[in-house]
Amino acid sequence: MALYEHVFLARQDMSAQQVDALVEQYKGVIEAHGGKVGRVENWGLKSLTYRINKNRKAHYALMDIEATGEAIHEMERQMRINEDVLRYMTVAVEAHEEGPSAMMQKRDRDDRPRRDGDRPDRGDRGDRAPREGFGDRPRRPREDRA
């Protein structure tokens, strides 16, 4: 049996429990055809880059699958029929990753390299000259309104 990673997007107005029910439904399809589903990750509700069927957000879910091609074909056929599934993608892999996927790994902002190198913070602007043409017009005195 081959190894696959399968990601699908579900509609934004579904609850997390309904998305879990979808995962269980497709897990049952795979197991009915003699396959196994390993890791299942629910990535949650995320914004889409562009609208898909009038949806601006979608629930993302990842499944690691060990199954035959017929099982994958049947699962994808059922996803095409289901209106709750916006998009799906199945990719054959050599081996499943250990641990959480890249989407689930928490990256700290301080650990990421800065794009601008070692540019000083904005607090170092005291030596700049004032802009020309700014403030050279005299102000009119304020009239008190009674």
Q: Distance between alpha carbon 11 and the CA centroid of its chain, in Å?
A: 14
Q: Are 14 and 84 in contact (CB under 8 A)?
A: yes
Question: Residue 17, SS3?
Answer: helix
pLDDT in tens, 4-34: 999 999 999 999 999 999 999 999 999 999 9
Give the position of tokens 């609850």. Answer: 15
Domain boundaries, the chain: 2-95
Question: Residue 102: which pLDDT band, with cuts at 50, 70 and 90?
Answer: confident
pTM of the model: 0.69
pLDDT in tens, 26-60: 999 999 999 999 999 998 899 999 999 999 999 99
CATH class of 2-95: alpha beta
